[in-house]
Chain A
């Protein structure tokens, strides 16, 4: 089953680039014989390039030329051109790219209304072509940021398109939310306008905040450079590195952060690609983690962030991995799930971890977590046998938790600060198809969402009333 990623905008494509690189490394590490297998087919086509670039797909046998199943969309050429000149150039072909030159000027309306309209047919055509090459399309991933113009505006336009063209295919969105100190002044407008689209058209959203990624990167650097106890960090195991030797000076500032997001996506899809004793497909994630259609925002955490070189993993360290997944500083947004209310939680474990390890840790951690009254045992678990490169095991936790609320509240506050003064509004309203109502509807949608989380939070410490069972006449 195929997962089709769409990278939209600068951030989306930078993350996307890291993702493809890591995906190739991961499959190379597992697939020793160079045979094109089921696992590879979920992200890559196998193309016979001997007769030129328009070769047909080969479904079995040796790997000839791997092409990523993806669409790369950007209204500026810079990032996409760099990808096409870099080591991944053979993994993409021109039919997968949609670019323009002038960018969206950090304006959601330019991305959504102008470019959306202009490129609609082009996108649909390329989407259909890409889908044709997949014998079973299971889900779409959109990777973008919320604060700019292209990723935010055109990205959410694509989201709408996907729902129209392929209503049955699940839509997962990985969204990078802007921080308070974001240097794009209009990022709150762009984000809130995009949020309305995510509320209405996404099946699952994984919000990410740069601040969290930044803190994680720092934490790793500290650990690596502290030279604690003489233990060395295993090469290839740094979640932030581009594999091989991490030459920190040569890496661009966002590379390490983008790697984390790329790892998130890899881990999310690992159980769909590789075997395990308890498989967890992507459609199972949205089934189990979305109890009500609009409450589909999932807080993610990844552990471990690196492994030490000693091979022997006592179960104590394994348990530490589970504890870390619930700690504040491993979350990919600024949130603390432990002190808020869980609607549902998923644990996807990779590597040499068995069901007893899972059970032991769930029992251990459960008492310190608050679950909503109708889902007291709301755990979804998956066991995938293949660990990530450089690790013996890893854990991805996805939480549907009211701790996302502060992120949304802050976003709303920043929006209102600008909106009250009507700052920069004319840049948006002058775009064809944009009206004041777009803004009021968007903020209303966000307020409603916040209110739903408020209502849930109100039940948190209240009494548990169990509904009376059906009475049967004896």
Chain B
């Protein structure tokens, strides 16, 4: 099954490029550590999922590029073409000239309706090129105007045009200390709207990835490209072909469905966090070895203790005593309660890995059986030169604190009515803001009371 990716705005297009680049480079690598047959099957599956074969022989990414100004798309297209190993189709992008001015209302209410037809035509074309459409992945930031506002609008259009397809929104959360002054308004507007039309929201936070670049990747002068490459690696670790329990011996034929069905059992809870270990500079890879028990232990503690990476984990945090029914208000505040988790393992000796510690009922809310709350995908084919790689996609309280912080800051600004005139002039009124705040306070409340 194929996934059509929609790259929106500067962030979406920059990350999208790094994702396809990482997927392609992983495909072509000789580090698979598995049989030739296995490797070929993996390559075929990835090709079908993300690329389309064109007459020129160079695979074309199954992607639609959208931006309201031309510079980023132009750069993205040429960088891909220069790689020689993959490219974007020549007619799968749409751009305008004037940008969205970091204004969600401009992206949503003006650009959205104006360009709906042109954008959806491109999406339709890509969808038709797929033998079997597995769903849509959108990549966007929520701080600016295009990715956020136009992205929210396009998501709605996708939902209307493809009512039975899976839609996963990958959303980048900006640095806490401003990239854009009105980022919190744009974020509140985006998340509340996505909550109504998408199936799940997969989040990356710039602050978190920045720390990974600084502390694990040892990069001195961190650029957005560095941040984007870490994000691309993490996304690749989730979306490259895997064996799922349901898939039998072959690679999963329903990647988005297999991901979202177990993780999003209840529509009120759609926020997914992503963790991946180990992470290190490529130059260190040949000198490092890891054991699965070590990796699993770290990953579990990362989950429990709200950690972002394998350094600085608080090992003191423990799940509440199993068996005792503790009302949610008494649960230790720094313990992360999960609704559902998915662990994806790739590389050497995966089948020997014991994941029992992730099935511990004390990690989860009581609604689901621990067997249903936890899923695992194990794939012997190694990913992106990591001999062993473990990813965690989690529907838990990971994002509660960051979400609460964003809503708090937005509310603080809203109370003073600052910048509202910039939104009302494009048709987003105070009542619309209030609706969005209400939606998100509800989400925060729901996650808090797990």
Seen from chain A, the residues whose Cβ lies within 8 Å of a Cβ on chain B are: 1, 38, 135-136, 138, 274-275, 277-279, 281, 283-284, 286-293, 315, 344, 354-357, 359, 362-363, 366, 373-381, 383, 466-467, 469-472, 474
Contacts and interface: CB of A to CB of B under 8 A. Distances in A.
Contacts of B75: 275
B178 A136 contact: no
Given A1-B98, A277-B224, A291-B418, A377 B413 contact: no
Interface of B: 10, 14, 69-72, 74-75, 96-99, 101-103, 145, 175-182, 210, 213-214, 219-225, 227, 407-409, 411-413, 415-416, 418-419, 421-422, 437-438, 441-442, 445, 449
A375 B181 contact: yes
Nearest to B443: A472
Given A275-B71, A275-B75, A472 B442 contact: yes
Contacts, number: 140
A289 B418 CA distance: 11
Contacts of B445: 472, 474
B10 A355 contact: no
Given A359-B177, A363-B177, A288 B102 contact: yes
A82 to B, nearest CB: 35
B177 A383 contact: no
A467 B415 contact: yes
A466 to B, nearest CB: 6
Given A277-B224, A284-B102, A374-B418, A470 B177 contact: no
A379 B224 contact: no
B269 to A, nearest CB: 15
B74 A38 contact: yes
Nearest to A355: B224
A472 B438 contact: yes
A467 B409 CA distance: 10
Contact of A279 (B71, B96, B438): B71
A470 B438 contact: yes
A38 B70 contact: yes
B210 to A, nearest CB: 7
B71 A288 contact: no
B56 to A, nearest CB: 24
Contacts of A355: 175, 210, 222-224, 227
Nearest to B74: A38
A357 B221 contact: yes
Given A281-B101, A288-B102, A292-B421, A366 B177 contact: yes
Contacts of A466: 408, 412
A287 B214 CA distance: 32
Closest 3 A/B residue pairs (Cβ): A379-B178, A283-B101, A136-B97
A279 B72 contact: yes
Nearest to B206: A355
A383 B181 contact: no
A354 B224 contact: yes
A93 to B, nearest CB: 25
